[in-house]
Amino acid sequence: MYLGRERFTITGIVAREILDCRFNPTIQVDVWVGNEIFGRADVPAGRSRGEKEAWEIRDGDKKVYGGLGVGRAIRNIEDRIAPAIVGMDVRDQRNIDLAMIALDGTPNKQNIGGNAVIGVSMATARAAANACGLPLYRYLNANAHVLPVPLLNYINGGRLTSNDLDFQEICIFPVGAETFRESMIIGWDVYNALRDILSSKYGKLAVNVGDEGGFAPPIVSTKEAMDHLVRAVEVTGHADKVMYGFDCAATHFYDAEKKMYKFEGEYRTRTELLDFYKDLVKTYPIASMEDPFDENDIEGFDMATKELGIQIVGDDFLCTNPKLIRERGARCNALLLKFNQVGTLSETLDAAESSYRHQFGIMVSERSGETEDPILSDVAVGINAGQIKTGATRSERTVKYNRLLEIETELGDAALYAGRLFRNPF
């Protein structure tokens, strides 16, 4: 029991339906403390999802939002979660999360809905921070001071575009910047140079953007895409400050029946795909590769981690799940941290803690269906993660950068840009 409890008692929860950046409905939650203070959080949604993620409850009524409505999840917040946690101390995050986990009673939160639970969990943390008069990153950690290196997703493919590029995200990683602000300036230069390169080569339609705000040119070959990106970095004079990273999202080009990867028009075995990756790593200064193999191809992850010598990030492979990190942790060397994959902030923080103990890197991540809520920026600094990915352009992405720019100025001399120490800033 904390002191001064009355000031911090949860008095109500309001949940409403809002729209995400794909115009799909999602949930916004306000957790109230007393009559004057509340914390708000929006729930993002993935499209390229892992099979072990927390369950998202959608209404299924095809006449309204094509079945994607979140009315049932909202009713679960109002009728089931609220009675259980109103009256609790808002600072008691773990017990609040445990109460929701117990109420749900399933391993993947399919009873109350992972989307309902994470909304309340995140809004609780915001409300607690507000009630304490602290920014969220500071409420989470008295030692929060590391600004993450952004993985800027400038060429989009996979499920997040309508082109035929197999990799979902081809990114620059400005590890040589001195500050987060400088990483944004480098990002601006490269993005605009890339626009010119792509539109002069493929025409103006090539610079339409995908779901995460990066270009979605009509390219099939990963190397062709990389050559343009490298050129954009070179013409802007930033080559010594920039490395590269991918989200291969290989689950989505794996053919489970044939047990082969259908990549760039050919069926490839795990070893053939690994050979392709080895060649990429030899050709370009690549720092990071996410989900290089199917989410259940443990052997593939193992080989990639041992043989590529770079950061191998588990997204669908680990689903931000502490149990999966324990079971599979040795097969990769970094965690993609997505709050709604596991469903509560406490479990997300457990996943981060467990990753640090495995000497893992941590990359805090958006979902492809984001909103204007920048909570992941606060959490990235709050856990001193060292890396963040939040797509490229458009406001649901830049709001995260804007929050990081704000935090960097707020921290002043205490701010430390993770830079080349992105995997372990200490």
Q: Where are the beta strands (DSSP E) in 34-68?
A: 37-42
Which partner, Zn ion, ligand PGA, none, binds residue 387 by CB below 5 to 8 Å per kind? none
* DSSP structure class, residue 213: S
223 is annotated as an active-site residue: no
Which partner, Zn ion, ligand PGA, none, binds residue 161 by CB below 5 to 8 Å per kind? none
371 binds ligand PGA (CB under 6 A): no
338 is annotated as an active-site residue: yes
Which partner, ligand PGA, Zn ion, none, binds residue 163 by CB below 5 to 8 Å per kind? none
d(CA 247, CA 158): 10
* 115 three-class SS: helix
Active-site position among 109, 338, 389, 400: 338
Which partner, Zn ion, ligand PGA, none, binds residue 47 by CB below 5 to 8 Å per kind? ligand PGA
Binding window for ligand PGA (CB under 6 A); candidates: 19-27, 59-67, 356-364, 365-373 = 365-373
Strand partners, 289: 246, 312
Q: For tokens 């890396």, name the residue.
A: 387
Our CB check for Zn ion shows the closer of 247 and 294 to be: 247
Contact pick of 42, 166, 212, 247 for Zn ion (by CB under 5 A) = 247
Residues numbered 298-327 forming contacts with ligand PGA, rule: CB under 6 A: 315
Strand partners, 149: 387
The answer to whether the beta carbons of residues 109 and 55 sit under 8 Å apart is yes
Our CB check for Zn ion shows the closer of 81 and 249 to be: 249
Active-site position among 169, 212, 290, 366: 212
Q: How far is the CB of 362 from ligand PGA (least distance, A)?
A: 14
Helix (H) and strand (E) counts in the chain: 14, 16
Ranges of H-type helices in 77-204: 82-85, 93-104, 114-132, 136-140, 180-202
Nearest to 229 by CA among 164, 309, 286: 286
End-to-end, the C-alpha distance of the chain in Å comes to: 34
Strand partners, 155: 170, 215
Contact pick of 49, 138, 238, 403 for ligand PGA (by CB under 6 A) = 49
Residues numbered 292-331 forming contacts with Zn ion, rule: CB under 5 A: 315
Our CB check for ligand PGA shows the closer of 168 and 377 to be: 168
**Burial environment of residue 176 by CB neighbours within 10 A (0 to 12, 13 to 18, 19 or more):** middle
Binding window for ligand PGA (CB under 6 A); candidates: 44-52, 144-152, 301-309, 375-383 = 44-52
Strand partners, 147: 417
d(CA 373, CA 163): 28
423 binds ligand PGA (CB under 6 A): no
Which of the residues are catalytic? 212, 338
| Interface with ligand PGA (CB under 6 A) | 46-49, 168, 247, 249, 315, 365, 367-368
| Interface with Zn ion (CB under 5 A) | 247, 249, 315
